[in-house]
Structure 1
Amino acid sequence: MRHKQQGFSMIEMMTVLVIIGILSAIAVPLMHGYQVRAKNTQSVSDVYHLYLFENQFYDEHHEYVPIAPADKQASGLLSKNVTLADGSVVLFEIRNLTADVQVAVNTDNTHQTLVIGGLAAGSDTIIAFDPDAQDGYHAITLSGSFASSSIPNSTSGNDLSSYPVFHQ
């Protein structure tokens, strides 16, 4: 009489474990890459929104607003009283920025040009935008902690020409 085999043999179990290990070794780095790209996309979105708000403010008041990372609250609200060149005080406020993205805006001394940068939590790439540069967003590798000094000072020229163009 033949004895019926029940369960899996050790060879079968080891084969399944090897296959799972190979799939994990492929999937984990891919997943990390997708997460980094998603975070950088959040930075692009916030830099773009900040640029739109800065342009709207400039259209009304003829000045851009310098922004330090500390100006943005953890909720994503950026609210700042700005003293204009004529001495008047105006509220600059954006409510729809991503909570996990730090932003900064550098302006020149007369607040007529700007460079905007954004850094998502968990990323080491600052996404920067200069309207004077005709080639879009640039990638700046973060060294240290994010601050206004992490992005170039603003001039009337392309301030991001020494940084690579950001490709998603």
Structure 2
Amino acid sequence: ILDIGCGIGRLEHALGAMAGRIVGIDISPRMIAIARRRCAGVANVEFRLTSGLDLGDFADQSFDCVLALDSFPYLVLAGVAERHFGEIARVLRPGGMAAILNYSYRASPDIDSRDINRLAHAYGTDVLVDGEMPFGSWDGTVFLIRVGGGT
């Protein structure tokens, strides 16, 4: 699992015992330091400081799953969302999945859906969940993307 914008490592701490390998990345040295302390005893969890510009530190097809939980709005604002979408497609193994929760702060699920579908088409991925809002207490949209070639 690659967690883009891992923050203080809540997800890694919760999933550490269930996942094979989790890599959390964030642009904040302070968040990474807190995450490392939080998950100090979890051997299969790693945290890396990133520039936020791309996923260049990772090899092609190196993850089965990529998570971006409320981090894409910042990538959209910074103008690097499309680059990251392409990078996600590159680092996912065939059949791998990416979950993007909350693509932007534009308050337009239709525009977000059009963007996600355009990017999915451009990078040869499939949209399995297209902007659903399954959370009662949070209005964030959910997109689930799969790279072809797997089961």
TM-score (norm 1): 0.25
Between Structure 1 and Structure 2, the one with more strand by share is: 2
Structure of larger gyration radius: 1
